[in-house]
Structure 1
Amino acid sequence: MPARLGGRWRRLFAGILDIIIVSLISSPFTYQTYGTILDIESGVFVRIPIQHTLLAAVVGFLYYWLLTAFWNGQTLGKKLLHLRVTDVSGQRVGVGQAALREVATWVMYATCCLGWIDLAFILFNQRKQALHDMAAKTLVVDT
């Protein structure tokens, strides 16, 4: 018998917990510096802040990808709320499948407003799949 699909609310709260955890882990890798550019209109050099977040993004990607691939399809948030990611047949996700799931997620979030559309699919899809789940052929199920 296939596992029961994970609830939408528990999935939301697991995601919020994961965002908090990733924020805490990656915050030391986010920093701000300043650059100097020439303001063409005034002819004056001005300082502008530059936010460096690439390392923080790498930490976040690795968190989701590696935990999903090697920790029974669970991030810490999913484990706390008794959820896990499986393939559509209920089997454990592979390393490549977990990577595809995260790449699809990150591409959609980096593209204007597609992250919200990705999440909205959970509400209307019978299998409670977001677009990144469909791309990677995964489900979020109860443990």
Structure 2
Amino acid sequence: MRLGGRWRRLFAGILDLVIISLISTPFSYRTISTVTGSEGFVAITPRAETLLVAVIGFLYYWLLTAFWNGQTLGKRLFHLRVVDLGGRRADVGQAAIRELVRWVMYITCCLGWIDLAFILFQSRKQAVHDIAARTLVIDA
């Protein structure tokens, strides 16, 4: 197994975020509204719409990773794939753990950056969510 490159993994992730944004836009067009207060503009984010966008993102990553040969659309375009440590397709549970850990780290202040930094310094190029789920990202 040849590990997927860090740059390709980054660009695949950016493409996936763009795709999620396009999918979730109809549900989030009112997510941020502004009101004028005595100290200027204040942004308010309704929680129901924000939660819906988070669910869409979670389902996108989880379902595609679990049922589409370990690939999201971004990973497929950049020839990457998520597998278990033995090189077999990641199962549904591993894909769910991988995404749960990722989402918890991203919504927790600054831990998303730590999750990504692990890819730079870890010998198997694993982020924290990969370590938790016992997965690798390899060349497809």
Q: How does the TM-score come out when normalised to structure 1?
A: 0.86
User: 1:50: how far off?
Assistant: 3.3
6, 9, 21: which one aligns with 2:7? 9
CA distance in 2, matches of 1:32, 1:10: 31
Listed as ranges, the matches of 1:104-119 within 5 Å are 104-119=101-116
Structure 2 unmatched ranges of 5 or more: none
**Runs in 1 of length 4+ with deviation above 6 angstroms?**
none
Q: Percent identity between the aligned chains?
A: 70
Q: Deviations over 1:13-44 (max 9, x none)?
A: 0000000000100111112477xxxx9xx9xx
Which structure has the highest strand share of the two? Answer: 1
Task: Give the aligned partner of residue 128 of structure 2.
Answer: 131
Which structure has the highest helix share of the two? Answer: 2
CA RMSD of aligned residues (A): 2.0
Q: How does the TM-score come out when normalised to structure 2?
A: 0.88
The structure having more radius of gyration, on CA atoms, is 1
115, 119, 123: which one aligns with 1:122? 119
Task: Give the aligned partner of residue 93 of structure 1.
Answer: 90
Task: Give the aligned partner of residue 77 of structure 2.
Answer: 80
Structure 1 unmatched ranges of 5 or more: none
